[in-house]
Chain A
Amino acid sequence: DQQVKQNSPSLSVQEGRISILNCDYTNSMFDYFLWYKKYPAEGPTFLISISSIKDKNEDGRFTVFLNKSAKHLSLHIVPSQPGDSAVYFCAASAPTSGSRLTFGEGTQLTVNP
């Protein structure tokens, strides 16, 4: 039962353009969502998060949008840079989960120069 889904395994974007990564979830108990960036053979690096009391959180080039009614969140990166090329994981947690994170399958972002 995949409670967090990233339906796009890969995304290719031109440098300077916007990258939009999407994530859907099914568990209505999730109230905290995170995006992590991961390079091969390394652990995930935290990027940005959002609480369910908000619908948008922005940090520099990264913005996360949350649509609770649709159980959907997205990560916008603008402008995209070649160094952003990595696998991006969406993750979620619930108040009852004690910080346990449920991850999506990941999306490989490639930013072309």
Chain B
Amino acid sequence: GAVVSQHPSRVICKSGTSVKIECRSLDFQATTMFWYRQFPKQSLMLMATSNEGSKATYEQGVEKDKFLINHASLTLSTLTVTSAHPEDSSFYICSARDRGQVYNSPLHFGNGTRLTVT
């Protein structure tokens, strides 16, 4: 089945620094990747949709200059949290859509990245 790999699984950084999270599709080509964020005991909130070779589409309320998304190839998307602050501490999860996949088929998710900003 479709495997999505996310790295790192957890990261601790100091306030003001930037952190990059990678999302890779291991056995398929992903034209579209999605970045979600989950706060404790809350739902997964879509942050942005990343399309290969084009700019990401951000959801309302998500700062595109703070959460930089790059989808440079069909198997890799990256999320960079710039100038991280403690309120950015959260669980970030990516998912990917196979280029041959129709919309009404399940998305597969990475294992998430726990970001802690001190």
A interface residues, Cβ below 8 angstroms from B: 9, 31-32, 34, 36, 41-46, 49, 51, 89, 93, 95, 97-106
Contact = CB atoms under 8 A, between A and B. Distances in A.
Q: Interface size for chain B: under 10, 10 to 19, 20 to 34, or 35 or more residues?
A: 20 to 34
15 contacts: A36-B109, A41-B112, A41-B114, A42-B111, A43-B93, A44-B44, A46-B107, A89-B44, A99-B101, A99-B107, A101-B34, A101-B95, A103-B44, A103-B45, A105-B43
B55 to A, nearest CB: 15
B43 A32 contact: no
Contacts, number: 65
Please report whether the interface of chain B is mostly helix, strand, loop or mixed according to DSSP. Answer: strand
B91 interface: yes
A2 to B, nearest CB: 8
Interface string B11-35: 0000000000000000000001010
B109 A43 contact: yes
Nearest to B40: A40
A100 to B, nearest CB: 6
B91 to A, nearest CB: 7
Contacts of A46: 106-108
B109 A44 contact: yes
Nearest to A9: B41
A99 B112 contact: no
Contacts of A103: 43-45
Nearest to A35: B106
